[in-house]
Amino acid sequence: MDGQASPGAPRLLVLHGLEGSSRSHYAAGLMRHAAARGWRALTLNFRSCSGELNRRPQFYHSGHTDDLDHVVGLLLERDADAPIGVVGVSLGGNVLLKWLGERELDAPKQVVGAVAISAPFHLVPCARVLDRGFRKYVYTASFLTYMRDKVRRKAERDPNFAILVDLELGLRARTFGEYDRAVTARLHGFADEHDYWVRASSGPYLRRIHRPTLLISALDDPLVPPDALPDPSTLPPWVRTEFTPRGGHAGFIDGRWPWRVDSWAERHAVEFLGAVLAERRGVG
| Model confidence pLDDT, tens digit, residues 93-124 | 999 999 999 999 999 999 999 999 999 999 99
pLDDT at residue 87 greater than cutoff 90:
yes
pLDDT at residue 284 greater than cutoff 70:
no
90 or 255: which leads in pLDDT: 90
Own/partner pairs, 104-109, CB within 8 angstroms, 24+ separation: 104/208, 104/209, 104/210, 105/210, 107/210, 107/211, 108/72, 108/76, 108/84
DSSP secondary structure string for all residues of the chain: -GGGS-TT--EEEEE--TT--TTSHHHHHHHHHHHHTT-EEEEEPPTT-SSS--SSS----TT--HHHHHHHHHHHHH-TTS-EEEEEETHHHHHHHHHHHHHGGGS-TTEEEEEEES--SSHHHHHHHHTSHHHIIIIIHHHHHHHHHHHHHHHHH-TTHHHHTTHHHHHH--SHHHHIIIIIHHHHT-SSHHHHHHHH-SGGGGGG--S-EEEEEETT-SSS-GGGS--GGGS-TTEEEEEES--TTTT-EEEETTTEEEEHHHHHHHHHHHHHHHHHHHH-
Query: One of 90, 118, 201, 202 is an active-site residue; which one?
Result: 90
CA distance 283 to 259: 41
pLDDT at residue 134 greater than cutoff 80:
yes
pLDDT at residue 260 greater than cutoff 70:
no
Tell me the average pLDDT across 54-80.
96
Rounded to two decimals, the pTM is 0.95
Dihedral of alpha carbons 162, 192, 96, 254, sign: positive
- Mind spelling out the 3-state secondary structure of 57-86? CCCCCCCCCHHHHHHHHHHHHHCCCCCEEE
**pLDDT of the residue at 253:** 87
pLDDT at residue 256 greater than cutoff 80:
no
Other Cβ atoms less than 10 A from the Cβ of 235: the count is 16
Percent of the chain with pLDDT over 70: 95
Please state which of the ranges 42-51, 199-208, 247-256 shows the lowest mean pLDDT.
Answer: 247-256
Domain ranges of the chain: 2-122+202-283, 124-200
pLDDT at residue 255 greater than cutoff 90:
no
pLDDT at residue 2 greater than cutoff 60:
no
Q: How confident is the model at residue 151 (pLDDT cuts 50, 70, 90)?
A: very high
**pLDDT of the residue at 171:** 98
CA distance 135 to 197: 18
Q: Are 211 and 112 in contact (CB under 8 A)?
A: yes
Q: Examine the residue annotation and report whether 6 is marked as an active-site residue of this protein.
A: no
Query: One of 62, 221, 263, 268 is an active-site residue; which one?
Result: 221
Q: Are 82 and 10 in contact (CB under 8 A)?
A: yes
pLDDT at residue 4 greater than cutoff 70:
no
Q: How confident is the model at residue 208 (pLDDT cuts 50, 70, 90)?
A: very high
Query: One of 33, 64, 122, 249 is an active-site residue; which one?
Result: 249
pLDDT at residue 37 greater than cutoff 50:
yes
**What fold characterizes domain 2-122+202-283?**
Rossmann fold (3.40.50)
CA distance 160 to 117: 37
Q: Examine the residue annotation and report whether 263 is marked as an active-site residue of this protein.
A: no
Percent of the chain with pLDDT over 90: 91
159-204: pLDDT as tens digits:
999 999 999 999 999 999 999 999 999 999 999 999 999 999 999 9
Q: Examine the residue annotation and report whether 194 is marked as an active-site residue of this protein.
A: no
